[in-house]
Structure 1
Amino acid sequence: MVDRIFNLVRNQLIEVIEWTDDSRDTLSYRWPDEDKEIKNGAQLIVRESQQVQFVAAGQFADLFGPGKHTLSTENIPVLSTILGWKYGFQSPFKCDVYYLNTRLFTGNKWGTANPVMMRDQDFGVVRLRAFGTYDFRIVDAPRFLKEVAGTDQNFRLDEFNDTMRSRIVSVFTEALARAHVPVLDIAQRYSELGDALLPIINPAIRDKYGLEIASFILENVSVPPEVEQAIDKRSSMGVIGNLNDYVKYQMGMAMGEGGEAGAAATVPAQMAMGFGIAQEMMRSMQQPGAAAAPQAPASAGLQVLSPEQVAQVLGVTVQDVMAAIEAGELRARRIGSAWRIAQSALEDFLRG
């Protein structure tokens, strides 16, 4: 009878605590005690890439790393303080035991459900959509349990993705605003942007959720169509480069076409040649001893273009030229109902 009672009491005590994760997608796991108590001197086994957090009376107690631990007063000083063991404990006790998986979780997807608003020095307020992947690990067990997993019995990766996707996007938006990265760089160099944002994202993620982002990758960043068109135009201006070189190229192409197309294409070249002749005349008049040139109307020496002529020179539409004028990017003067653009203003515009 005594043996039966002893065996019954013994079966109600926990002597070994261990957990083998075979799921590969569990972040935290509350060890099931089945309402049993932990005996004095019980063995706690923590494997590599695991941590164990004890929680007693609703408070975070001792944290254990990989290894085999014997639960005694010396090994659980925080728990001893919480439970009031001043001189060591001999009787069994109850405590919640949480296993945390500290390995690297890779290939997690993130993305903006709605466009992110950001202020850009070139385009003003711009709407961005972005998505990509990130790798993370748990680095602060108490904070992760408190802010993310809670008291969940088995907190898995699919629950984490649903919980954290919006939080990752929120931190990404804040980091992007603090970094002051131009839209042109985001759209053209986003492969490098993830590494640049990591030092800004990680402090916030660590302090808020007890996590560390090991890799943050932007796979795509999209901007509204009008911003894409503006980027394309900026790129075109960069390709055109120097106005004189562009005009020479146009003239060379026109010589090979012939006919009406060739004649139309040579208009910009003829204009450029006229500008060159006028500049030579002005330089010769300024040289000492130069013969006095016959007087000409003041307008004859002006190097001005109409929007239609600028459109021909640049190979764009008149509407594009007017849009640049209205945006203040191309300096022009309105005389009556007509617009006139100085050659120097056009050259300044092309030089950016």
Structure 2
Amino acid sequence: MGIFDKIKEKLSHEFIDIIEWLDYTDDTIVHRFERYQNEIKNGAQLIVREGQTAVFINEGQLADVFKPGTYTLNTQNLPILATLKGWKYGFNSPFKAEVYFVNTHLFTDEKWGTKNPITLNDDRFGLVEIRAFGTYAFKINDAGKFIVDIVGTDANFTNFEINEHLKSLISTRFTDTIGEANLPIELYAANTTELSETCQDVMQPEFNSVGISLEKFYIENVSMPEELKKEIFEYSRIDKLDLDKLTKFKTAKAIEAAAANEGGTAGAGMGMGMGFVLAQQMGGMMNPMTGQQNAAVPQQNVPVTPPPMPIQVQYFYASNGQQAGPVTMDQLKVLFANRTINKDSLIWKQGMANWTALKDIEELKSFLGGNTPPPLPGA
């Protein structure tokens, strides 16, 4: 080999380009490899590291895509680019193309949340508002599609630029999903794992449509107004308690509150009077026979026998497909106030041929409010 051949070989090796990207950031998704006039020399070395994909763009068209590895660029390694440029018998150095490196590692701990409250219609509590927030993780699974559909000509595309789009998509699909779930309001916070998995399945196709894979999706918290929380807790406790025991407990608390009233002689007398009446009522509920016996004992020096105690009507009601009761009208009113039953709940008492909706039973229509007396005779 002559001296000129050695010089030529040495210079040819010095002119071989090395195309690579070393990522020193935590948020860059796409980086465009900058070359003077986008010229790449024949035989250039392309180095694609793990967690990267290299995409060649020719005059705005997607050409070749390279996964991790080391490549010597020629017509064999650039079949699509060779076709686009019309290289039938190889190409002469240099050639022009844009090279984009796409970060394909997992982007974790991305935040999402509902910007505005979500309104739901619950069967027991009516219209309610909830909020939710959590995290998600994604990665690029189709670098070419992502470059074409999202990045365009951006030379340095970060996850901040895509996060707003993804969070809006998540919020919209989350709202649709929980609306269709139609769960009782108190179960949303208790079923975040199942809801997270369902939401991920619903969102995955839309992420895939732009070359992104939704790898993880977590609902960390579902929140609601404090007033609604208290109402749900109260409803839950009442639903678990025996209604008769609850009534006795409420009566005892009322007696205790009346006894504690020390607002002067008049106030104390009123409190004692109320306490005495409530004590009689509670005693009658706890032991009806004792109440009747006490009522039968005449007061001193007053030889008057009171009439017998009226017999309270006992009602049965249907709750969650099950028969419950019997309860008195007052207890039935408490059940109605606490939304255990409603105007359409089925009620039965002795003497009725069939179960009937509460709203159609004359003596119970007062529960619904708005009752007005008939006009006076001759008016």
Letter in structure 1 aligned against 2:23: D
Residue 107 of structure 2 is aligned with which of 105, 116, 120? 105
Residue 321 of structure 1 is aligned with which of 337, 341, 347? 337
Residue 303 of structure 1 is aligned with which of 314, 334, 348? 314
Change (3 A) 1:194 1:14: farther
Alpha carbons 2:56, 2:100 under 8 Å: kept? yes
Letter in structure 2 aligned against 1:15: D
Change (3 A) 1:338 1:48: closer
Residue 303 (structure 1) shift: 1.4
Structure 2: tracts of 5 or more residues without a match: 1-7, 260-271, 290-307, 316-327, 347-357, 369-379
Change (3 A) 1:185 1:149: farther
Distance in 2 separating the partners of 1:181 and 1:336 = 34
Residue 166 of structure 1 is aligned with which of 168, 190, 193? 168
- Correspondences of 1:44-83 after superposition (within 5 Å): 44-83=46-85
What does residue 285 of structure 2 align with? Answer: 271
TM-score in terms of structure 1 length? 0.70
Residue 213 (structure 1) shift: 2.0
Change (3 A) 1:183 1:252: closer
What does residue 43 of structure 1 align with? Answer: 45
Does 1:339 find its partner at 2:369?
no
What does residue 228 of structure 1 align with? Answer: 229
Distance in 2 separating the partners of 1:179 and 1:216 = 17
Does 1:219 find its partner at 2:220?
yes
Alpha carbons 2:16, 2:42 under 8 Å: kept? no
Residue 144 of structure 1 is aligned with which of 130, 143, 146? 146
Distance in 1 separating the partners of 2:251 and 2:119 = 45
Residue 264 (structure 1) shift: 3.6
Change (3 A) 1:170 1:114: same
Letter in structure 1 aligned against 2:98: D
Distance in 1 separating the partners of 2:66 and 2:359 = 73
Alpha carbons 1:136, 1:214 under 8 Å: kept? yes
Secondary structure at the counterpart of residue 189 of structure 1: helix
Distance in 2 separating the partners of 1:327 and 1:228 = 24
Residue 19 (structure 1) shift: 0.3
Distance in 2 separating the partners of 1:92 and 1:32 = 15
Distance in 2 separating the partners of 1:120 and 1:13 = 72
Distance in 2 separating the partners of 1:174 and 1:13 = 58
Secondary structure at the counterpart of residue 166 of structure 1: helix
Letter in structure 2 aligned against 1:195: E
Letter in structure 2 aligned against 1:213: L
Does 1:20 find its partner at 2:22?
yes
Change (3 A) 1:339 1:61: same
Identity %: 38
Structure 1: tracts of 5 or more residues without a match: 1-5, 276-296, 315-319, 342-352
Change (3 A) 1:249 1:263: same
Letter in structure 2 aligned against 1:271: M
Which of the two has greater helix per residue?
A: 1
Change (3 A) 1:321 1:34: same
Distance in 1 separating the partners of 2:80 and 2:281 = 87
- Correspondences of 1:117-266 after superposition (within 5 Å): 117-118=119-120, 120=122, 126-207=128-209, 209-224=210-225, 227-240=228-241, 242-243=242-243, 264=278
Alpha carbons 2:131, 2:223 under 8 Å: kept? yes
Distance in 1 separating the partners of 2:83 and 2:50 = 28
Secondary structure at the counterpart of residue 237 of structure 2: helix
- Correspondences of 1:82-97 after superposition (within 5 Å): 82-97=84-99
Letter in structure 1 aligned against 2:104: T
Residue 153 (structure 1) shift: 1.0
Residue 46 (structure 1) shift: 0.5
User: Whose RCO is larger (CA < 8 A, sep 6+)?
Assistant: 1
Alpha carbons 1:56, 1:95 under 8 Å: kept? yes
Q: Which stretch shifts more, 157-166 or 63-72?
A: 157-166
Q: Deviations over 1:299-348 (max 9, x none)?
A: 846215344x556x77xxxxx7287666656946664797379xxxxxxx
Residue 238 (structure 1) shift: 3.2
Q: Which stretch shifts more, 26-35 or 225-234?
A: 225-234
Letter in structure 2 aligned against 1:238: D
Residue 144 (structure 1) shift: 2.0
Residue 196 (structure 1) shift: 3.7
Distance in 2 separating the partners of 1:35 and 1:79 = 17
